[in-house]
Structure 1
Amino acid sequence: MLINTPPLYLIITPLLFQATTSGAPFWSGPKRCPDPITFDVNNELHVDYVVAAANLRASVYGIKHSRDRAAIAKVAAAVEVPKFSPKSGIKIAVTDAQLQQNSDDLDQDRVQTILSELPPPARLPNLTITPLDFEKDDDTNFHMDFIVAASNLRATNYKIAPADRHRSKLIAGKIIPAIATTTSVVAGLVCIELYKLAQGFNTLDVFKNGFVNLALPFFGFSEPIAAPTNTYYDKKWTLWDRFEVKGEITLQQFLDYFKNEHKLEITMLSQGVCMLYSFFMPKAKRQERLGLPMSEVVTRVSKKKLEPHVKALVFELCCNDEEGNDVEVPYVKYTLP
């Protein structure tokens, strides 16, 4: 199995002169700029990776393993990998905020196109895919071979001293139990609290918060604190409460609904970081939005279409009561039709 990835220098070069939000160079301090690796059939580490990765893929699809390194290397050397040419207009995330924005901009149309190109299950009646569970102590399954090769290739990228098979197995042996034991303890404590809910308990003194540190070891428990209570008119609410609006309505109908049903005048309405409506908005813009369905207002303001998996929207409100006083109210769950 050969992975067609762009040369690392083509990815790294645009970042060499980038600066963080504080103005410091991106590649500074603890950030070490990696070096690209070009596949070399004469490099044992490169062949190790291809042999392990190809055999793992073979295990998934029920294909017979091959340990003939010479034959695999010959096939790998004959593969012509298309020259990588970077796309124009691609923005590389240099901060966590930009990374989150890039993930939000995932092209769902492209995803749907790929899904439509997949053959239906009926065309592959004999295909069996077997998931692989990591087992470090079986030297015949290629699991440790892949980890050693992949981790040492990454170490080469960053000029880190490589680790031999014994040390790599030692590190892997420490990680798995740590994950498994912590996860099992947390899952067990959560299930105990769920049992209490299932049995009908509804007082806070029955439930417990758990604090666990297995390295000490330390187990501590405390009673949870009740959510703060807010009030508008004679109605009390907490962060667990919400307004619910089902079905598509216009922005004007949305405002009228809260004025007539809840005696609340909405002064500002937002969804995420987008301000959909406000009393100080220019009159022309306000009038333009009042007749639009709520979902269309969201797409116009955010300049992003609603993806197929979105079944509801969350709106935040700023409201005045009948006396003109500013009051805090729950958020709105707006269920799409």
Structure 2
Amino acid sequence: MVIPHLTENYGASRDPPEKQAPMCTVHSFPHNIDHCLTWARSEFEGLLEKTPTEVNAFLSNPGGYATAARTAGDAQARDQLERVIECLEREKCETFQDCVTWARLKFEDYFSNRVKQLTYTFPEDAMTSSGAPFWSAPKRFPRPLEFSTSDPSQLNFILAAAILRAETFGIPIPDWVKNPAKMAEAVDKVIVPDFQPKQGVKIVTDEKATSLSSASVDDAAVIEELIAKLEAISKTLQPGFQMKPIQFEKDDDTNYHMDVIAGFANMRARNYSIPEVDKLKAKFIAGRIIPAIATSTAMATGLVCLELYKVLGGGHKVEDYRNTFANLAIPLFSMAEPVPPKTIKHQDMAWTVWDRWTITGNITLRELLDWLKEKGLNAYSISCGTSLLYNSMFPRHKERLDKKVVDVAREVAKVEVPPYRRHLDVVVACEDDDDNDVDIPLVSIYFR
């Protein structure tokens, strides 16, 4: 039971984290189909959702986007700019044939060139620093794929990827795409460049060995060049051009989402000699579907309804409610009173996680820090959504102190503030005068 101001909130207790494979395994050394599907889902979101969203963020507010990139001035901002430029220039699609070309070259990049680069960097007889074979279990030595239009699964992957790419650019899908012969003909028109191995490519082989290294080039200077290039590209686009990001939806069998993800995963599985799966099994794993039985659902529904009577009746104390843990297989039923929310005390104030502090006025970041200082709290970090508006550790962030909080949120967090919106919520991390962390409520700034 979670009742505002009466019990703990959802975040007070957490399930143990799901066991996940290290990213180096997922990216370069998969050894089961789950790794392949995790990678496939990540690539799907990057290519078809995140990059088009970034393109739209730039096109909606070029000045603000450029300012945010300059302010960040790091490798992540540079990578984002490079992805947007690549999408609008080198990989821009205007016809469905362009989308077929894009899909075919992605196939070559993912399932042939990257594997050739990996095996060039780490040959089959490579040894580790301790003298053991590098390609020892669980690592599997990969083999590049040779594309063939006579392979139905490869052709279907190109078809599905090209259709989704066309959707992001708003390109009509021609009728002939469902004809395998005509699709094969379109794919055969694509000119695929020969692979050239690169020297000095760094491939992460151990998650524990990763470290934050300073960039070899000045990120700020590169970002300026990229911004100038992006502004030039934007002038060549049609007025009002916007992309259509695609959010993964596993349950619609006609939208080609699972075709692309299953294709991505199975082609990668072939690279590493991992058994492939059909689309249904791929949906089960990639969609993170958890099996359930009707009796469990019925029991949970009944327990919810019993507690709902108390909620609707009103006026109940925390000890009147019940949390339930039930396991029908044993069978075990355990009921307990919910825990009241933790009360945090500071000086002459007290609050719980359910409380909220409000400030009226279109204040600056500095004024927010001063407002908290009067309460004996030293704020060192302010965030909005998933973006950091201010952190005392970053010298550049001090330049933001005299800007309005809502303006920084627009620039940095890309928060859209519609005319009817009167307030903005920020999360503030604070310390007391003895440098002890103090959890404070959400702060709502009423700027209108």
Q: Which amino acid aligns with 2:432?
A: C
* Residue aligning to 1:315: 428
* Residue aligning to 1:40: 148
Local SS of the residue matching 1:46:
helix
**Residues 30-76 of structure 1, C-alpha deviations (whole Å, 9 max, x = no match):** 45464443433344542343356567889996754655433321221
The answer to whether the Cα contact below 8 Å between 1:250 and 1:291 also exists between their aligned partners in 2 is: yes
Structure 1: which 5+ residue stretches go unaligned?
18-24, 99-106, 124-128, 278-284, 300-304
**Residues 119-150 of structure 1, C-alpha deviations (whole Å, 9 max, x = no match):** 759x9xxxxx9x987477x9xx9899777655
How many Å apart are 1:333 and its aligned residue? 2.3
Summarize the Cα distance change of 1:227–1:294 in structure 2 as closer, same or farther, 3 Å threshold: farther
Summarize the Cα distance change of 1:242–1:217 in structure 2 as closer, same or farther, 3 Å threshold: same
Summarize the Cα distance change of 1:243–1:132 in structure 2 as closer, same or farther, 3 Å threshold: closer
Summarize the Cα distance change of 1:271–1:16 in structure 2 as closer, same or farther, 3 Å threshold: farther
* Residue aligning to 1:292: 401
- 1:258-297 alignment to 2 at 5 Å? 258=372, 260=374, 262=375, 264=376, 266=378, 269-271=380-382, 275-276=391-392, 292-293=401-402
The answer to whether the Cα contact below 8 Å between 2:324 and 2:334 also exists between their aligned partners in 1 is: yes
2: CA distance between counterparts of 1:291 and 1:154? 46
Alignment partner of 2:443 out of 329, 333, 336? 333
The answer to whether the Cα contact below 8 Å between 2:321 and 2:337 also exists between their aligned partners in 1 is: yes
Alignment partner of 2:180 out of 55, 69, 90? 69
Q: Which amino acid aligns with 2:413?
A: E
* Residue aligning to 1:21: none
Local SS of the residue matching 1:335:
strand
The answer to whether the Cα contact below 8 Å between 2:250 and 2:258 also exists between their aligned partners in 1 is: no
How many Å apart are 1:293 and its aligned residue? 2.2
How many Å apart are 1:155 and its aligned residue? 1.5
- 1:171-250 alignment to 2 at 5 Å? 171=281, 178-179=289-290, 181=292, 185=297, 200=314, 203-209=317-323, 211=325, 221-245=335-359, 247-249=362-364
2: CA distance between counterparts of 1:214 and 1:86? 57
1: CA distance between counterparts of 2:234 and 2:310? 42
TM-score, scaled to structure 1? 0.53
Structure 2: which 5+ residue stretches go unaligned?
1-99, 124-132, 211-222, 417-423
1:155 aligns with 2:269: yes
The answer to whether the Cα contact below 8 Å between 2:358 and 2:446 also exists between their aligned partners in 1 is: no
1:9 aligns with 2:115: yes
* Residue aligning to 2:157: 49
* Residue aligning to 1:102: none
Summarize the Cα distance change of 1:9–1:56 in structure 2 as closer, same or farther, 3 Å threshold: closer
1: CA distance between counterparts of 2:443 and 2:258? 48
2: CA distance between counterparts of 1:85 and 1:196? 69
Q: Which amino acid aligns with 1:233?
A: Q
Summarize the Cα distance change of 1:191–1:68 in structure 2 as closer, same or farther, 3 Å threshold: same
2: CA distance between counterparts of 1:32 and 1:173? 24
How many Å apart are 1:77 and its aligned residue? 0.9
Summarize the Cα distance change of 1:148–1:332 in structure 2 as closer, same or farther, 3 Å threshold: closer
**Residues 180-213 of structure 1, C-alpha deviations (whole Å, 9 max, x = no match):** 7489959969986788656646633454445466
1: CA distance between counterparts of 2:320 and 2:238? 51
CA RMSD of aligned residues (A): 6.3
- Greater RCO (Cα-Cα under 8 Å, separation 6 or more): 2
Structure number with higher helix proportion: 2
* Residue aligning to 1:280: none
Report the structure number with the largest CA radius of gyration. 1
The answer to whether the Cα contact below 8 Å between 1:314 and 1:334 also exists between their aligned partners in 2 is: no
1: CA distance between counterparts of 2:325 and 2:238? 46
TM-score, scaled to structure 2? 0.43
The answer to whether the Cα contact below 8 Å between 2:176 and 2:183 also exists between their aligned partners in 1 is: no
Matched length? 289
Summarize the Cα distance change of 1:335–1:188 in structure 2 as closer, same or farther, 3 Å threshold: farther
* Residue aligning to 1:306: 412
